[in-house]
Amino acid sequence: MTAPFEVSETVSLGLAVVFGIFFGLSLERGGLGDPHKLTGVFFLRDFTVPKVMFTAILVASIGLYLLSDVHLLDMGRIWIVPTFFWPQIVGGALFGIGFVVSGYCPGTAVTGVATGRLDALLTIVGMGLGSLLFAVLFPVMEGFYLSSDKGAATLPKVAGINHWGVIIPIVALAGGMFYLMERYEKKPR
Amino acid sequence: MNEKKYWSPYVSGIGLGLTLLATFYIAGRGLGASGAIALVTAQGTHAVVPDLISRLKYFEQYITPLKPLINWNLFLLGGVFLGSLAGSLLSGNFKAMLDKGATMSVRSRVFTSLAGGMLIGFASRLARGCTSGVALTGGAELAVSGWIFVISMFAAGFITVSFLRRLWS
- What pLDDT band is residue B41 in, cutting at 50, 70 and 90? very high
Q: Same domain for B77 and B143?
A: no
- Per-residue pLDDT averaged across A39-59, rounded? 97
**CB within 8 Å of A182: residues ≥ 6 apart:** none
Q: Same domain for B88 and B26?
A: yes
Please check whether residue A46 touches B, CB under 8 A.
no
pTM of the full structure: 0.96
Q: Same domain for B40 and B5?
A: yes
Q: Count the domains in chain B.
A: 2
Which pLDDT belongs to residue B129? 97
Q: With pLDDT > 70 as the criterion, what percentage of chain A qualifies?
A: 99
Which pLDDT belongs to residue B1? 46
DSSP state, residue A40: G
Q: Same domain for B42 and B10?
A: yes
Which pLDDT belongs to residue A69? 98
Which pLDDT belongs to residue A187? 82
- Per-residue pLDDT averaged across B68-94, rounded? 97
Mean of per-residue pLDDT scores for chain A: 96
| Residue of chain A nearest B115, judged by CA positions | A126
Q: Same domain for B89 and B106?
A: no
Nearest Cβ partner for B125 among A45, A113, A131: A131
- Per-residue pLDDT averaged across B31-40, rounded? 97
Q: Same domain for B89 and B7?
A: yes
Please check whether residue A175 touches B, CB under 8 A.
no
Query: Of A10, A57, A58, which to mutate for an interface test with B (greatest number of B Cβ within 10 Å)?
Result: A57
Which pLDDT belongs to residue B39? 98
Please check whether residue A156 touches B, CB under 8 A.
yes
Q: Same domain for B91 and B111?
A: no
Which pLDDT belongs to residue A189? 66
Q: Same domain for B44 and B123?
A: no
Residue A36 to chain B, least CA–CA distance (Å): 7
- Domain final residue, candidates B96, B131, B160: B96
Q: Same domain for B62 and B125?
A: no
| DSSP class per residue in chain A | -PBS----HHHHHHHHHHHHHHHHHHHHHTTTT-HHHHHGGGGTS--HHHHHHHHHHHHHHHHHHHHHHTTSB-GGGS-PPPEEHHHHHHHHHHHHHHHHHHS--HHHHHHHHHTTBHHHHHHHHHHHHHHHHHHHHHHHHHHHHTSSEEES-BHHHHHTS-THHHHHHHHHHHHHHHHHHHHHHHS--
pLDDT tens digits, one per residue of A1-27 = 688 998 899 999 999 999 999 999 999
Q: Same domain for B114 and B146?
A: yes
| Residue of chain A nearest B94, judged by CA positions | A115
| Residue of chain B nearest A129, judged by CA positions | B118
Q: Same domain for B132 and B160?
A: yes
What is the span of the domain harbouring residue B48? Answer: 1-96
Q: Angle between the A9-29 and B9-27 helix axes, to the nearest 10 degrees?
A: 170
B87: nearest Cα among B165, B29, B2, B5: B5
**CB within 8 Å of A35: residues ≥ 6 apart:** A102, A103, A104, A112, A117, A119, A120, B99, B168
Which pLDDT belongs to residue A156? 98
Nearest Cβ partner for B157 among A42, A88, A125: A42
Nearest-angstrom CA–CA distance, B156 and B150 = 10
Beta-carbon count within 10 A of A39 CB:
25
